[in-house]
Amino acid sequence: MLSLVLLLSACAAADTSAPDLPAGSPASALALRVSPKRITLPINQPIRFRAVESGDALAPVGVAWTASGGTIRPDGTFLSARPGTFKITGRARGRNNRADTSVVLVVDPDAPNQVALELVPGTTTLAPGATVAFSAQARMSDNTSAGASVSWTAAGGTIAESGVYTAGSTAGSFDVIARDTISGLADTSAVTIAAGAPAPPAPTTFPTPTPTPVPTPTPIPAPVPNPEPAPDPTPEPAPVPPPAPAPAPTPAPAPTPTPSPTPSGSGIAFGSFHLPDYMFGQGTYSGALRALDPGSARSTLAAAATKGMRLVVSLPDSRKHYTNSDGTFNLSLWKQQMDRWRPYAPLLQQYYASGTILANYLVDEPGCSGCWGGRTIAYADIEEMGRYAKTFLPGLPTIVRVHPGWLRAAGRPFPSIDAAWAQYEGPLHLPSVNMTPEQFRDRSVADARAMGMGLVLGLNVLDGGNGSSGINGSILHSTRWQMSAAEVERAGSAFAAEPYACAVINWRYSTTYVTSGKTATQLSNIQGFDTRSDVKSALSRVASIAQARAPKACS
């Protein structure tokens, strides 16, 4: 982004002012245009705005400049020493006060900024006339949360400014949408209105969470590029004290730990989140992060094995199944979700031994307070998740998607956690703000080594760009951009060549991406990432580097 700003500044070095057009010019046909129309800058970075009048042709024009904040010189050069959103107005001299405006977002690269809006509860079931209070928080780039001023839109009932929703009389599934009045970011919750007494929620398709989401564990649809349907949701129980572990249904004898296998295929896994079964072996990807469902796990694993794919598997289902009503993590419910897999332990161990399964993905972003009701998951709970998983899956390496530096900061060991997952968010966002891919890689490796853990590296290809692609990311925010092909190739190559990494898995496969709150054009731009010819070429070159690597276990 900084290089882009410098380029814009350099291009604006010439004087854009010019004398008024002579009398008799067709002023009534002219309109003033100020550029750039919208730009994001770091503090203390100058940018020069330019103006032209357009009608039958373009012509330079003399302009009087004003700014709602910061300072702007007579030549249109703007500068601000503090963060904020400012309006730049250019007004043509001697042109009947014709004016145009631009918007500048000034950010402090070292300070957190909002990257998402999160609405709680994410789903609920109500009887006609019943009420529920929704609340929204801003998720910040440093994985903290902050208050948010939002506007509400609701279907199927009414919603007050306070966020209290009252269900109408018509049964069905409806959306409640909160939109941040400052950033414009939005989030959607699903409301099911049941006829008569409250009933368990009907199957609902949930928006893909952002900037770094939890995979939805579901059966894969027929081979068409559609989103994976969500599994039948179960009612969200109220917070309960952690009980003793539930007895396993028809438990199988615990297998002995399996030695780390040599992964199937060659090299290390290079892949993406949410890669569907029908794409196994069809492109450049040799791996994936896949959420499994007990009902379809056997067919998914068999398809992966047939195509030489290597999977990091997520077993506990969507986080909505193991959060309290306030969105905080519930370890007891997480254990109940894992207990569903006890009868399938031999199957999972078999596919780990053959190299199809790389690791057991325990939880997503435990250090993100905004993802967990305003409270990060306790370090003790993370260790307990690893210990509990190994009681019936002792051979599978356990992995947590969080930067190893966050675990290292705990000042304690995690003997039951085998690997961490470091995702590069680009130079504009934590944990990689102001870092090159090589710097981020080296820091991640150092932290993982210090913890005695394995390491998966990845790129946020849909939201971790520096702006050079010019294509907005999946998070509609002025500092969120898709990565360009050059960014993908540079970071992907650096990660794939790193001997310490056991896999490179990016967020996320784009063609099956669906969500609400975006226009058809925005959604098309997001879904088109994996189909762009320059991106496909870059991914192919990274895949070649990953394939040439010596295989490495994630433990």
Give DSSP secondary structure letters for 32-65.
EEEE-SEEEEETT--EE-EEEEESSSEEE--EEE
Average pLDDT, the chain: 80
Sign of the C-alpha dihedral computed for residues 301, 305, 307 and 310 taken in this order = positive
Q: How confident is the model at residue 353 (pLDDT cuts 50, 70, 90)?
A: very high
User: Superfamily assignment of 114-193 in CATH?
Assistant: Immunoglobulins (2.60.40.10)
Contacts of 440 (CB under 8 A, 6+ apart): 422, 424, 431, 432
From residue 508, give the alpha-carbon distance in Å to each of 210, 273, 464, 525, 530. 11, 5, 11, 14, 9
Fold topology of 31-107: Immunoglobulin-like (2.60.40)
Q: 401 pLDDT exceeds 70?
A: yes
**What whole-number distance in Å separates Cα of residue 311 and Cα of residue 502?**
12
Region of poorest pLDDT, from 133-137, 153-157, 211-215, 293-297:
211-215
Are 148 and 354 within 8 A, CB to CB?
no
- Per domain, the residue ranges of the chain are 31-107, 114-193, 269-548
pLDDT tens for each residue of 120-159: 888 888 999 999 888 888 877 666 667 777 889 999 999 9
Region of poorest pLDDT, from 52-56, 84-88, 167-171, 477-481:
52-56
Q: 485 pLDDT exceeds 90?
A: yes
Strand partners, 269: 503
Nearest C-alpha neighbor of 364 from the set 413, 423, 444, 437: 423
Section 410-416 average pLDDT: 94
Task: Give the orientation angle of helix 345-353 with respect to helix 297-306, to 10 degrees.
Answer: 10
pLDDT tens for each residue of 228-280: 333 333 333 333 334 334 444 444 444 444 444 544 447 999 999 989 888 99
- Position 188 scores a pLDDT of 85
Are 487 and 538 within 8 A, CB to CB?
no
Q: Could you give the count of Cα atoms lying within 13 Å of 376 in the half-sphere of its Cβ?
A: 15
Please give the DSSP secondary-structure letter assigned to residue 312: E
**Torsion (CA) 328, 332, 338, 343 in degrees, nearest 10:** -160
Contacts of 183 (CB under 8 A, 6+ apart): 114, 117, 138, 477
Nearest C-alpha neighbor of 215 from the set 224, 206, 202, 223: 206
Region of poorest pLDDT, from 213-222, 347-356, 462-471:
213-222
Who has greater pLDDT, 419 or 265? 419
Q: Which two tokens stand for residue 473?
A: 């990311």
Q: How confident is the model at residue 308 (pLDDT cuts 50, 70, 90)?
A: very high
Section 442-456 average pLDDT: 96
Are 526 and 462 within 8 A, CB to CB?
yes
**Torsion (CA) 486, 488, 489, 491 in degrees, nearest 10:** 110
From residue 20, give the alpha-carbon distance in Å to each of 12, 23, 59, 429, 505. 20, 9, 10, 44, 57
Fold topology of 269-548: TIM Barrel (3.20.20)
Render the burial of 263-272: b for 16+ CB within 10 Å, e for the rest: bbbebbbbbb
Q: pTM here?
A: 0.56
**One-letter amino acid for residue 233 of the chain:** P
Contacts of 422 (CB under 8 A, 6+ apart): 403, 404, 431, 440, 444, 447, 448, 455, 456, 457, 458
Are 325 and 304 within 8 A, CB to CB?
no
**What whole-number distance in Å separates Cα of residue 185 and Cα of residue 135?**
15
**What whole-number distance in Å separates Cα of residue 463 and Cα of residue 508?**
10
* Intra-chain end-to-end CA distance of the chain, in Å: 37
**What whole-number distance in Å separates Cα of residue 302 and Cα of residue 354?**
11
- Centre a 10 Å sphere on the Cβ of residue 68 and count the other Cβ atoms it contains: 14
Are 275 and 507 within 8 A, CB to CB?
no
Region of poorest pLDDT, from 237-241, 348-352, 393-397, 472-476:
237-241
Q: How confident is the model at residue 167 (pLDDT cuts 50, 70, 90)?
A: very high
Are 20 and 38 within 8 A, CB to CB?
no
476 φ, ψ (degrees, to nearest 5): -80, 85
The pairing of beta strand 99-107 with beta strand 58-60: unpaired
Domain 31-107 and domain 114-193, same fold? Reply is yes
Highest mean pLDDT among 13-27, 161-175, 187-201, 481-495: 481-495
333 φ, ψ (degrees, to nearest 5): -65, -35
- Centre a 10 Å sphere on the Cβ of residue 27 and count the other Cβ atoms it contains: 16
Q: How confident is the model at residue 383 (pLDDT cuts 50, 70, 90)?
A: very high
Who has greater pLDDT, 509 or 107? 509
Section 30-52 average pLDDT: 84
Section 21-43 average pLDDT: 65
